[in-house]
Amino acid sequence: MNQWTNFTKGFIKENPVFVLLLGMCPTLGVTSSAINGLGMGLATTFVLVMSNLVISLIKSQIPSKVRIPSFIVIIAAFVTVVELTMQAYLPSLFKSLGLFIPLIVVNCLVLGRAEAFASKNNLLSSLVDGVGMGLGFSFALTLLGAAREFFGAGKIFDIVVYPEDYGMLLFVLAPGAFIVLGYLIALINRMNKA
């Protein structure tokens, strides 16, 4: 039951974006479409899960004075794997996400989970936490991207829902990210109080 709780808390109760307000840079920067949100979310999930696993395995070997720099090196290694893989196999998504992929290294969600959870818990708990928080992050970015793409361009995952002429440019631009995020945070807060 405890593992299931660790897995599900990342979706609503402790969603990294809507509740904890972590990782706002990619949240607001790349979510102009559902595909971008999903791609960034899954890339971050991979890095989060893998770094949690490695940190959980070697936590007793890392001296306390170099704990954070060690975590950053581990995270950077997995970000490099994601970046090179995406560049080779998903070049259009890689180009669309651009600078935000290397910024996963300093994403406070990934580093925060490494410090607060993986460095203090066993392998299975760290794996479950990474998957839960990562999928919650992916869910939030995809939802935000889908809403912005729907209102701004009349599409969801590049599937035309209504003509683009009726879309509102505001939602594709940066202010639209803040507006949609604000409404989604309010909705999640209301759901958490119920």
Residues 111-168: tens digit of each pLDDT? 999 999 999 999 999 999 999 999 999 999 999 999 999 999 999 998 999 998 888 9
- By CB atoms closer than 10 A (0-12, 13-18, 19+), residue 73 is exposed
pTM: 0.91
Q: Tell me which residue of 112, 116, 117 sits closest to 129, measured CA to CA.
A: 117
* pLDDT at 1 (0 to 100): 47
Using the predicted structure, report yes or no on whether residue 63 has a pLDDT greater than 80.
yes
Average pLDDT over residues 58-62: 92
Average pLDDT over residues 37-42: 96
* pLDDT at 167 (0 to 100): 85
* Angle 6-9-13 from CA coordinates, rounded to 5°: 155
Written as six digits, the tokens of 60 are 């007793």
* pLDDT at 3 (0 to 100): 66
* pLDDT at 182 (0 to 100): 93
Which residues are bridge partners to 159 per DSSP? 156
* pLDDT at 2 (0 to 100): 64
Residues 65-108: tens digit of each pLDDT? 999 999 999 999 999 999 999 999 999 999 999 889 999 988 88
